[in-house]
């Protein structure tokens, strides 16, 4: 996908950074929620896997660029 001229504007860059922070925060909160649920569950493995997925997603989100989407 070619670069769009709008991607170089400060407003776009600020919006992109804010969107990545929001997605990362969401994944981190879902990971914490799944871990808490796994401690209360009789069958915690699925919830532990879900928490690990969200933790890894939160780490990978920061590496995204507008060209990746």
User: Which of 3-7, 22-26, 59-63 shows the lowest per-residue confidence on average (mean pLDDT)?
Assistant: 3-7
Is 52 domain-assigned? yes
Asked whether the predicted pLDDT for residue 1 surpasses 90, the reply is no
pLDDT at 62: 87
What's the domain range around 49? 21-63
What DSSP letter does each residue of 5-38 carry, written as one string? GGGGSHHHHHHHHHHHHHHHHHHHHHHHHHHHHH
In Å, what is the CA distance from 11 to each residue of 27, 44, 45, 67? 24, 43, 43, 17
Give the pTM: 0.81
Is 34 domain-assigned? yes
Instruction: Select from 25, 30, 27, 29 the least CA-distant residue to 57.
Output: 27
Asked whether the predicted pLDDT for residue 61 surpasses 50, the reply is yes
The tally of domains found in the chain comes to: 1
Is 30 domain-assigned? yes
């Amino acid at each position: 996908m070619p670069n769009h001229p709008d991607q170089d504007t400060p407003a776009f860059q600020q919006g992109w950074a804010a969107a990545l922070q929001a997605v990362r925060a969401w994944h981190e909160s879902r990971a914490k929620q799944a871990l808490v649920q796994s401690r209360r569950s009789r069958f915690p493995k699925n919830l532990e896997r879900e928490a690990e997925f969200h933790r890894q997603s939160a780490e990978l989100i920061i590496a995204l660029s507008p060209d990746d989407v």
